[in-house]
Chain A
């Protein structure tokens, strides 16, 4: 069964550094998402992306965050200047037809900001 893959599985960075989290969505999917989950808390929506532009974003997704689909297969989340509170598990997801079809999630990147 096709999967969403995320790299790296664990990223450690220093406060103020830029990080790029990478995702390869399922190949025929058109909708892409980033979520995050701080340890012990609920899964939080960050952003959705369709047709090369952001569809929706949450208040968490401020100017420090950006997303890009640089080629036909990758979907990236960039955090420009990381803060301690950005430490979390970041999940990428994709779907065939938006939120009224199943979202397929990757296994996440654990980001640790020191």
Chain B
């Protein structure tokens, strides 16, 4: 079972870039890396997914080094509304397991 490790919490200020790194040392060859965001009392929301190198969409970038044993979610210019829990997940057959996530607090 591919396990992920992330910082428990991070603090930032509005307008800053935030980078959250996740380690997944035993990622399998076919596994993708996916990041989700969760606000209180809501379901997790897909942010970005990647397999290798770099992926960018309208909300975030995902950097994955060649060995794929870690990944970094980059949120450019965060705002107060980005305060949430961010989860890094690695596919494991049809059993995608959430870790404890990173609680990001954005302050004015």
Write the chain B residue with the least CB distance to A55.
B94
Q: How many chain B residues touch A (Cβ–Cβ < 8 Å)? A: 25
Q: For the complex, what is the distance from the CA of A108 to the CA of B44, rounded to whole Å?
A: 10
Q: Chain A's interface: helix, strand, loop or mixed, by majority?
A: strand
Residues of chain A within 8 A (CB-CB) of B95 are 45, 48, 55-56, 58, 99
The answer on a CB contact under 8 Å between A93 and B43 is yes
- Residue in contact with A99 in the complex, picked from B41, B42, B96, B100, CB distance below 8 Å: B96
Residues of chain B within 8 A (CB-CB) of A98 are 91, 94
The answer on a CB contact under 8 Å between A107 and B92 is no
The answer on a CB contact under 8 Å between A43 and B94 is no
Residues 91-114 (chain A) with a chain B CB within 8 angstroms: 91, 93, 98-108, 110
Binding site for B on A (CB under 8 A): 4, 31, 33, 35, 42-45, 48, 50, 55-56, 58, 89, 91, 93, 98-108, 110
